């Protein structure tokens, strides 16, 4: 604000009798507009609440495009959560929300942070040239999943062997519950 603007505002009858925040706000409305006005009003109104001021300035920066939506989301999380698992989980949610993590990677990392067993199907399909044995599944898992299986009696020498033994049991139990359907590539028309 220039000296001329200050003097002009000071001599307006509307400013007479205003003190403290009321004066500061009236002066801001007189001399500023748009983003500058919003920013000044936040500083006036929240001068004694540093955390609220930081949050509101962040939202103002996001609204006026000074910070990307992604960066704003990351800053919201770091402002809201102290360091630890809850912050890491919230940051992971932001990464997933903005498409930086696939659903599978998100689920795996979330389980790892929570120290929970996790397994997911990365790829599956059918290769007709292999006949009935052409169905395949490709798994991904975390160490907690292997530990979980070992605690439940799977004792393979390698992680892959533990997974193979478990999946074989899954297939067997499924086959016992359901009546097998005859398989044929040729179809009757």
Under DSSP, is residue 25 helix (H, G, I), strand (E, B) or coil? helix
Q: Is position 7 within any domain? A: no
- Distance (Å, whole) CA 127 – CA 47: 67
* Tokens matching residue 56: 């509101």
Under DSSP, is residue 49 helix (H, G, I), strand (E, B) or coil? coil
* Tokens matching residue 29: 């409305």
* Tokens matching residue 91: 């940051």
- Residue 189's pLDDT is 46
Q: How many structural domains compose the chain?
A: 2
- Residue 147's pLDDT is 95
- Distance (Å, whole) CA 110 – CA 116: 8
Q: Is position 36 within any domain? A: no
The end-to-end CA distance of the chain, in Å, is 86
- Residue 4's pLDDT is 54
The answer to whether 102 and 122 have CB atoms below 8 angstroms apart is: no
Is residue 126 located within the same domain as residue 161? yes
Per-residue pLDDT of the chain (189 residues; tens, 9 = 90+): 555 555 677 777 777 788 889 988 988 898 889 999 999 999 999 999 999 999 999 999 999 999 999 999 999 999 999 999 999 999 999 999 998 889 999 999 999 999 999 999 999 999 899 888 888 889 999 999 999 999 999 998 999 999 999 999 988 887 766 655 555 455 454
Is residue 122 located within the same domain as residue 158? yes
């Amino acid at each position: 604000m220039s000296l001329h603007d200050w003097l002009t505002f000071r001599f307006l009858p509307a400013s007479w009798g205003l003190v403290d925040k009321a004066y500061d706000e009236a002066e801001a409305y007189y001399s500023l507009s748009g983003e500058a006005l919003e920013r000044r009003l936040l500083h006036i109104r929240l001068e004694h609440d540093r955390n609220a001021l930081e949050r509101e300035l962040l939202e103002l920066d996001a609204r006026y495009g000074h910070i990307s939506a992604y960066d704003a989301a990351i800053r919201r999380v770091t402002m809201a959560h102290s360091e630890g698992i809850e912050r890491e989980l919230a940051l992971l949610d932001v990464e997933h929300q903005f498409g930086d993590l696939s659903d599978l990677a998100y689920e795996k990392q979330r389980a790892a942070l929570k120290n929970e067993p996790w397994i997911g199907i990365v790829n599956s399909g059918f290769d007709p040239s292999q006949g009935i044995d052409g169905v395949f599944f490709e798994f991904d898992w975390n160490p907690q999943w292997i530990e979980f299986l070992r605690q439940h009696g799977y004792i393979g020498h390698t992680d892959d062997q533990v997974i193979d033994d478990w999946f074989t049991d899954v297939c067997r139990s499924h086959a016992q519950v359901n009546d097998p359907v005859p398989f044929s590539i040729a179809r009757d028309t």
